[in-house]
Amino acid sequence: MVLICPQCGKAALYLETGGVMGDIYRCKNCTYIGNFVIESDDEELSNELREGHRAETGKF
């Protein structure tokens, strides 16, 4: 299972903190901090999300 960043589409998330309110993740690639992440075993989904992010922002 891979955790994918919902903002940039990369699998570069790490657990920032956890506790009563739930887990908070931070992305090493972009500025995302939050508890919503995409869990997937599908490598193709991550590629599609990255392509969408590139088209939207022009950034890798």
- Going from N- to C-terminal start, the domains of the chain cover 2-57
Helices first, then strands: H and E counts in the chain: 1, 5
Distance between CA atoms of residues 6 and 40, nearest Å: 12
- Calculate mean pLDDT across residues 27-49: 85
Distance between CA atoms of residues 24 and 53, nearest Å: 22
pLDDT at 60 over 70: no
All residues at 6 or more sequence positions from 9 whose CB lies less than 8 Å from its CB, including other chains:
46, 47, 48, 49, 50, 51, 52, 53
Taking the whole predicted model, whether its pTM rises above 0.75 is answered as no
pLDDT in tens, 16-35: 999 887 999 999 999 999 99
> pLDDT band at residue 59, thresholds of 50, 70 and 90?
low
